[in-house]
Amino acid sequence: MLTLTNTVLLVVDVQGKLAHMMDEKQRLFDNLQKIIEGARILEIPIIVTEQNPTGLGRTIPEIAHLLTDVQPISKINFSCCGNVAFMQSLQALNRQQILMTGIETHICVYQTTMGLLDLGYEVQVVVDAVASRTADNKAIGLEKMKSAGASVTSTEMALYELLQVADGPQFKRILKIVK
């Protein structure tokens, strides 16, 4: 199970025109907003990456406005694990559970998940907060990650798993997000 003291939210490459080419993009954007807002309420650290921002653009405004205090890590490797700044940021948090979100499921999300699993991290892919340009590529990416040892979850499931109790101010705020 996910725990508040051991979890990191990773938002991979939700950028520019590419983000708007995703299959079910509005569902993706809505769930990314929910999980980011939930992570804020629960005080879960957030790491954001951008794949070649000069070529692909910056994190989309629909998401970036929730991350004004998070400096995106620029990368050219498909796997975030191939980036020194990413690995330093992740290791500095000293947390082992990664909530994986972003695009594209079958490329950067997949390769990052594989790298994190190889390094001993527990990865939970948030199925309704990852996307590819086609449903087939998303399904293939999810299947390969699961067969390699990643778990799958949903935005709502992850938030309630982290919350653990139906009581208190955090619960009330999370409830407003997921409804």
- Spatial distance between the Cα atoms of 44 and 118, rounded to a whole number of angstroms: 23
The answer, yes or no, to whether residue 60 has pLDDT greater than 90, is yes
Domain coordinates in residue numbering, the chain: 7-178
Catalytic (active-site) positions: 13, 75, 108
Q: For 148-161, what is each residue's pLDDT tens digit? A: 999 999 999 999 99
The answer, yes or no, to whether residue 179 has pLDDT greater than 90, is no
Closest CA to 105 of 26, 35, 22, 33: 22
- In this prediction, residues 128-152 reach a mean pLDDT of 98
Q: For 73-109, what is each residue's pLDDT tens digit? A: 999 999 999 999 999 999 999 999 999 999 999 999 9
pLDDT the model gives residue 57: 93
Classify burial at 6, counting beta carbons within 10 Å of its beta carbon; exposed 0-12, middle 13-18, buried 19 or more.
middle
- 7-178: what fold? Rossmann fold (3.40.50)
Closest CA to 48 of 81, 82, 14, 11: 11
Q: For all residues of the chain together, what is the average pLDDT?
A: 96
- Spatial distance between the Cα atoms of 75 and 41, rounded to a whole number of angstroms: 28
